[in-house]
Amino acid sequence: MKNKVSTIINVNNAKIGVLRINNDDYISLTDIAKQKNSKNPADVVIKWMSNKDSFSFYSLWEELFNPSFNFARFREIKMNEVGYNSFTMSPTRWNKDFNAIGIISSSGKYSKGTFAHPDIALEFASWIDTSFKLFLIKEFQRLKNNEAYQNQIEWNVRRIIAKSNYRIHTDAVKDKLILPVLTKEQINKTYASEADVLNVALFGMTARQWRLKNKDKTGNVRDYATIEQLIVLSNMESVNSILIREDIPQKERLLKLNGYALTQLESISKSISINQLKEIESKQLSK
C-alpha cells in the first residue's frame, strides 16, 4: 500500500497535509514551514534541523522510540559536528545515515515534502510560531477525534495481527540469543537477524533485499503483506520462539518455518473468516 496524504487539515487558514505511514499519522513540516518562507520551505526545515537544540530534541525522540536508530553514527556526529556553524542536517541525511523514522521525506504525487511524527512536528511548529502550534494541536486533535468517532474504536486489523505475538518472539530472542556483554548495536543486529529468518521463510527475501527491489516504496516488506501473510507471520513468531528456546540452530529453524508458512498459507486462504477481515479492512481504508 503506497503512502498518501490521508487528509488535509485547515490550520488558521493554512492547509497542512497529514500522511499515513505504517498506521501512524505524520504531519507535513513542509506545509508548516511555508508559514515562515512560502518560496523555500525546505530551507526552513534544514535550518531547524541544524539547530543544536532541535537536534537534541528529535535525536532523543529516535533514541526513545526507534530501536533501529544508528547510535554509533549519532554519537560520532554529536561529538564532531553538532554545535559548530558548519553543521547541517537535512531530512534525507537524517534518514540515510541514522536510520531515522521520526522525520521522513516523501516524493509521492500527493505527499511531496518532509513529514514528521506529531511529537516532532509540534516542536517544529512551536519554533515557527507558538500561536500556530496551538491552532495545529486543535485541528490535529479534531482529526483524531473524528477518526475515533467514525470507527467507534481505534482498531486496525493489520496492526493487531502483526503485533499479537511480537513480544513472545522478542522475549525468546532476548532470553536465548542476547548476551549481557553485547553492545546496543549488536543486540539490534540480533533482533534484525531473527526478524529476517521470518521474512525469508514467509516472503522469500530479507528486509534489505526487499528494500533494494522496491526503492520507490516506503516502509518495509511487512507493510505490504496480505492479511493471510500477516496472520501466518504472527503464528510464526510464536513457533520460532519455541524453536529458539529449544536451541534449534537458525538454519534448521528457517527450513521448519518455511514449511510451516507454506502449509499455513494454504490452509488460511480457504478460511471464511479471512474474507470477513478483508471486508472490515476495506471499509476502514475507504473512510
Question: What's the pLDDT tens digit per position in 150-189?
Answer: 453 344 445 545 554 455 455 655 665 554 555 666 556 6
Same domain, yes or no, for 190 and 219? yes
Same domain, yes or no, for 99 and 119? yes
pLDDT band at 205 (very low <50, low <70, confident <90, very high): confident
Angle between helices 184-203 and 227-245 (to 10 degrees): 120
Mean pLDDT, residues 9-33 taken together: 88
- Quote the pTM value: 0.52
Residue 107's identity, in one-letter code, is S
Residue 52 has pLDDT above 50, yes or no: yes
Query: Of 101, 130, 151, which marks where a domain is finished?
Result: 151
Same domain, yes or no, for 182 and 237? yes
Q: How many domains does the chain have?
A: 2
How many angstroms separate the CA atoms of 183 and 23, rounded? 31
The three cell numbers locating residue 66: 526507534
Same domain, yes or no, for 141 and 162? no
Residue ranges making up the domain that contains 55: 5-151
In the prediction, which pLDDT does 115 show?
Answer: 94
Residue 124 has pLDDT above 50, yes or no: yes
Same domain, yes or no, for 81 and 45? yes
Same domain, yes or no, for 127 and 179? no
In the prediction, which pLDDT does 152 show?
Answer: 38
Query: Of 134, 151, 168, which marks where a domain is finished?
Result: 151
Same domain, yes or no, for 20 and 146? yes
Same domain, yes or no, for 114 and 77? yes
Residues linked to residue 113 through DSSP beta bridges, in sequence order: 106
pLDDT band at 216 (very low <50, low <70, confident <90, very high): confident
Residue 100 has pLDDT above 50, yes or no: yes
Residue 36 has pLDDT above 50, yes or no: yes
More confident residue, 149 or 227: 227
pLDDT averaged over every residue in the chain = 77
Query: Of 151, 172, 200, which marks where a domain is finished?
Result: 151
How many angstroms separate the CA atoms of 41 and 43, rounded? 5
More confident residue, 16 or 81: 16
List CB contacts of 230: < 8 A, sequence separation 6 or more: 158, 161, 162, 222
Same domain, yes or no, for 117 and 76? yes
Residue 141 has pLDDT above 80, yes or no: yes
Same domain, yes or no, for 130 and 195? no
